[in-house]
Structure 1
Amino acid sequence: MSQFTTITTTEALAAFCADAKAQPYVTIDTEFLRERTYYSRLCLIQMALPPADKAKDGGGPAVLVDPLAPGLSLEPLYDLFRHEGTVKVFHAARQDLEIFFHDAGIFPTPLFDTQIAAMVCGFGEQVGYETLVRKIAKDNLDKSSRFTDWSQRPLSKAQQDYAIADVTHLRAIYETLKAQIDKTGRGPWVAEEVAILLDPETYITRPAEAWQRIRTRSNSPRFMAIVRKLAEFREEYAQTRNVPRSRVFKDDALVELASTKPSNEAELGKSRLLMREGRRPEIAQGILAAVKAGMDDPHPPRPPKEVPGQPGNAALGELLRVLLKAKADLEGVAPKLIATTAELDAIAQGMRDVPALHGWRAEVFGRDALRLASGEIALSAEGGVVRVVELQ
């Protein structure tokens, strides 16, 4: 098992971060809790540096930073995040970055995400860290501590071993993937995806837009207006008090309330799906106010217009899926990285403001997708291999 040091003081953290600034990269991971809060609670930060001598076995220094330690300031870490000379390496960085953005308004740059890199290198869609450890580092992880309580102190040996393994193996994974990406010249592909992770808009949830995540279908603008106001109230309440949305009321209760439209506490009390938390006075009053606001909304949301069915749209969509699979196989990348199912459907319906039709995706897939849609090319299968056939 890898050796590591536990950091509980600002001075020790500053010393490690100073050493990290002299290195080409540092691997980073976090452990957190979110079951009882709206925002994740940071409980542990793991970091590891590259080996000082690659000719020798073992890696460089590795640490577990305890952000819950009394008096510990994370400012030295944030200063490292701002240091452009050291690449910060994460795997599936989105949740980690969300924590740092919410807690300190900062992103670690430059950033390298090995999950994105693995998709570019043909390891599949949203490949897990455990898979990369097995395939690249030639080791197996003990995942038994994954869902333990990371706020408890002291951490068990099993928790510590699990946590440090998340960054020590990451060194070999990063170096392998980085070398492959440099060889193929696909650094811009990775950079385009990383830019999304470093965009503050990725992590901002606006209460007024929360209704768009509610899974319900209705042709009634009034029903959707109430859904919108209820979702907005719930999001604001959850954010302000840092509690999960489900602790305010769940989606099924929200849809029920939008259907029954209670106008007073007696009618609200008849709800079958509203749990005890949702019946507390401050929430109950918020629900009633949201329902009324939805009923009075002069500009209720209109159901999205159906795109008129064009003969062959469905068939074109299927052909685009075949083309995507062929192009992804040819390039050795995950199909989802190039285009999503929704994007394929949009192209089949004649839409052109689609990510798959811009940037490197256009070169790999988008241009031929448009040519297929316009009848300039066709697809043929020969010996199980899909080929593009020029028609004009």
Structure 2
Amino acid sequence: MFACSLRCELLASSPSSWHATVSYHSITTSDQLLELCDSLDGARIIAFDTEFVSEDRYEPELCLLQVCDGKENYIIDTLSVEDVTPFWQKLVSGDHVTLVHSGREEFRFCLSAVDRFPGNWFDVQLAAGMVGMEYPAAYGTLCSRLLKVSLGKGETRTDWRRRPLSQQQLDYAAQDVLHLDNLYGELTRRLEKLDRRSWFDQEMCDWLKNQESQFRGERWRSVSGTGSFPARILAIVRELWHWRDEVARSTNKLTRRVLRDDLLAELARRKQGDLKRIRSIRGMDHRHLQPHLQDIAAAVQRGIDLPEEECPQPLRSNSIRQRSSLCQFLAAALNAHCRQSRIAPNLVASMQNIRELVALRLDNLSLENGETPQLAQGWRKDLAGDLLDGVLEGKIAVQVEDPRAEHPLALRNRQETPGE
């Protein structure tokens, strides 16, 4: 049987400020976890959230899993339950909708545990941006604005590894999944009303693919300051990155605590496997690096000796003109259009996305990977790409409609503009 239900007091904002009592089950043993997984068979939704500690660690340490199946609420003590793999296996199977808020870390925990992720993933933060709310919006903001529920605060700096956790800390954790089902219902209704469910599904699919690509991809290419390096130096970067990653993993340290990116890039740029020259680099005299200097030198030498055909190639880079004034003007037009269309502007496009569209239209430049810019494809093209093309071509005018309004700009077809 599940551990005795614990009581959680949550304050819902209303004129009379009433309290609602919610029970949740505490899962602290493997048997209880298996019973929970059995109870999730046939569930319509599985909402979940995590509490973890990532400071000074190679991988975040999962400390709590909060789960709601639409009927019951659960808190899984992942430091007490020996293996939570059965939960992850249950999550990636079945036809249920998986509900999260800002679920990047939750996605990574799942993918790391069972090398798969749920098919019906619904992130309420992304959905909220699609229906005109700010993006990214905090969970508390969504509950307040969409459900008129005010959540408790005060445990954001909790060390979730400490045991026992206080009742207040457990209450705080429980509320993170308590309202996800209601948010899902309200946001689904708004998506359908605006005829944007297909937009959301495509964006969610793209997000999942992007997260998986980042998880499985060539992470060594993310070392800052190395994007313009030629193949030979990139070979050294890769060797140093793999050495650093192995040390960080084996000692459970943040990679930057083993060797900073700027030092790694400088070691690669100098192309010197000689210990004396490595020691001469400013910053390489730190005490914690001294036991590793031989290994660092060996990694540099492996990159130097690698056959030319095995060296990683630089990613193709197109030089995009900044055109700051034009892109800022287009950004203002896009912002006005998104406000009118009830969608978060920064979900639609960043300034870089606008630069890429301008480079395609004016210079015929595609992206580094040869793909079409985001604003020239899919739902973004339908919503904003064609409109920005119209502004570039002079077919659409941007005008000040009300200088005192919070959003004073409006867009008009040229033939509709007064005085034309």
TM band (smaller chain)? 0.7 to 0.9
**C-alpha separation between the residues in 2 aligned to 1:359 and 1:71?**
45
Deviation at 1:329, TM superposition (A): 0.7
1:53 is matched with none
What secondary structure is seen at the aligned counterpart in 1 of 2:23? Answer: coil
1:138 is matched with 148
1:127 is matched with 137
Deviation at 1:240, TM superposition (A): 6.2
1:385 aligns with 2:418: no
**C-alpha separation between the residues in 1 aligned to 2:97 and 2:251?**
35
Task: Deviation per CA, 1:34-70: give whole Å up to 9, x if none.
Answer: 22332222221101233xxxxxxxxx32110122225
What secondary structure is seen at the aligned counterpart in 1 of 2:297? Answer: helix
Judging changes above 3 Å, is the alpha-carbon distance between structure 1 residues 228 and 324 closer, same or farther for their aligned structure 2 residues?
farther
The answer to whether the 8 Å contact 2:42/2:94 transfers is no
**C-alpha separation between the residues in 2 aligned to 1:349 and 1:127?**
31
Q: Tell me how many residue pairs correspond in the alignment.
A: 377
1:288 is matched with 297
What is the aligned-residue RMSD (CA, Å)? 3.1
The more displaced of 124-133 and 214-223 is 214-223
1:32 is matched with 52
TM-score for both structures, normalised by structure 1: 0.84
**C-alpha separation between the residues in 2 aligned to 1:23 and 1:154?**
31
1:14 aligns with 2:14: no
Aligned-partner residue type, residue 45 of structure 2: Y
Judging changes above 3 Å, is the alpha-carbon distance between structure 1 residues 247 and 309 closer, same or farther for their aligned structure 2 residues?
closer
Percent identity of paired positions between Structure 1 and Structure 2: 28
Aligned-partner residue type, residue 20 of structure 1: L
2:77 is matched with 66
1:333 is matched with 343
The answer to whether the 8 Å contact 1:34/1:41 transfers is yes
1:317 is matched with 327
Aligned-partner residue type, residue 278 of structure 1: L
Aligned-partner residue type, residue 107 of structure 1: F
1:307 is matched with 319
1:257 aligns with 2:267: yes
Deviation at 1:357, TM superposition (A): 1.5
User: Runs of 5+ in structure 1 lacking a partner?
Assistant: 51-59
Alignment counterpart, residue 377 of structure 2, candidates 326, 351, 358 = 358
**C-alpha separation between the residues in 2 aligned to 1:316 and 1:65?**
52
User: Runs of 5+ in structure 2 lacking a partner?
Assistant: 1-8, 10-21, 367-371, 403-407, 416-420
2:287 is matched with 276
1:87 is matched with 97
**C-alpha separation between the residues in 1 aligned to 2:217 and 2:249?**
10
Alignment counterpart, residue 102 of structure 1, candidates 112, 118, 139 = 112
The answer to whether the 8 Å contact 2:85/2:114 transfers is no
Task: Deviation per CA, 1:272-294: give whole Å up to 9, x if none.
Answer: 3244333323xx23321333345
The answer to whether the 8 Å contact 1:189/1:360 transfers is yes
Judging changes above 3 Å, is the alpha-carbon distance between structure 1 residues 333 and 183 closer, same or farther for their aligned structure 2 residues?
same
The answer to whether the 8 Å contact 1:380/1:389 transfers is no
Deviation at 1:28, TM superposition (A): 0.8
